[in-house]
Amino acid sequence: MPHAHTKYIIEARTPDGKLDLTGEQPEEVFGMRAIHGITIHEIADVVQRRCPELPLSLLAGDEILTWAAHIDSRFKTRIKTW
């Protein structure tokens, strides 16, 4: 698992990788942290609140980049580069 201080960016993307500005946006779900950088703990907290039916084991693995997609399949996560 990455370092706890690693930050991530969450974007809504189309299947071909273009930004998708239709529908709910990540910053509406995760706050401005989705744009400026969010930690794995913050992502997990939001996903647990929005998708309480998800087994916690899904948020315990190393598939961090897929967690936000449980809320919306357009949500793509990447490591923030400084």
- pLDDT tens per residue across all 82 residues of the chain: 556 678 999 999 999 999 999 999 999 999 999 999 999 889 999 999 999 998 888 777 678 899 999 999 999 999 987 6
Q: How far apart are CA 59 and CA 67, in angstroms?
A: 7
Q: 52-62: string of b/e by CB count within 10 Å (b at 16+)?
A: eeeeeeebeee
Contact 40, 28 (CB under 8 A): no
- pTM for the whole thing? 0.87
